[in-house]
């Protein structure tokens, strides 16, 4: 697996998010095997104050296989310092006939093999009218990666 030091931080986190989401939603491997490819066994994730360990993360992602969402991520900013990464990104998701826009900020620590070990993530749903205003403003700074 590629480490942060081998890549531009924006590309690294865009690829990490996109690949994980695609493998979970559209792959054939068991979700537990996919989680183990991207996250260390001792993963600690905190999503808006809710802590998840490996087992809770697996339970959280299992429904994505059934719902088969498509998504793309636009990374606005990302910086790395050694094995630590901070990023601000927007994810555009199409699931069950609905389009969702989710803005996120993440602080993560990665193991030497490129798997995520710790993550603190904050997110908010962007209302459709705000998303439309943003796309009309022509903000082209982010790195878009389809998944």
First to last CA, the chain: 19
pLDDT at 25: 93
Is residue 113 in a domain?
Answer: yes
What's this model's pTM, rounded to 2 decimal places? Answer: 0.82
- Which one has a higher pLDDT value, 144 or 51? 51
The position carrying tokens 């943003």 is 134
Is residue 92 in a domain?
Answer: yes
pLDDT at 131: 62
The C-alpha atoms of residue 34 and residue 23 are separated, in whole angstroms, by 7
Is residue 137 in a domain?
Answer: no
pLDDT at 6: 74
pLDDT at 64: 86
8 pLDDT higher than 50: yes
Q: How many domains does the chain have?
A: 1
- φ, ψ (nearest 5 deg) of residue 21: -60, -40
Whichever domain contains 86, its CATH number is 3.10.450.50
pLDDT at 9: 95
Q: Which domain holds residue 75?
A: 4-126
- Which one has a higher pLDDT value, 68 or 145? 68
DSSP summary character for residue 6: G
Tens of pLDDT, residues 80-107? 999 999 999 999 999 989 999 999 999 9
Task: Specify which residues 93 forms β-bridges with.
Answer: 71, 100
Is residue 20 in a domain?
Answer: yes
Is residue 135 in a domain?
Answer: no
Averaged pLDDT score across all residues of the chain:
87
1 pLDDT higher than 80: no
Is residue 133 in a domain?
Answer: no
Is residue 21 in a domain?
Answer: yes
pLDDT at 147: 44
Average of pLDDT values for 45-62?
A: 92
Is residue 100 in a domain?
Answer: yes
């Amino acid at each position: 697996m590629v480490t942060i030091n081998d890549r531009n931080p924006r590309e690294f986190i865009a690829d990490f998010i996109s690949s994980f989401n695609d493998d979970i939603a559209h792959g054939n491997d068991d979700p537990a095997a996919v989680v183990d490819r991207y996250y260390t066994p001792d993963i600690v994730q905190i999503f808006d104050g809710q802590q998840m360990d490996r087992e809770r993360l697996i339970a959280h992602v299992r429904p994505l296989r059934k719902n088969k969402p498509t998504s793309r991520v636009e990374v606005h900013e990302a910086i790395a310092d050694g094995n630590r990464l901070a990023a601000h990104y927007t994810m555009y998701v199409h699931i069950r006939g609905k389009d969702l826009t989710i803005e996120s900020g993440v602080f993560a620590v990665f193991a030497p093999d490129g798997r995520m070990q710790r993550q603190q993530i904050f997110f908010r749903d962007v209302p459709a009218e705000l998303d439309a205003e943003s796309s009309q403003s022509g903000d082209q700074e982010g790195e878009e990666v389809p998944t």
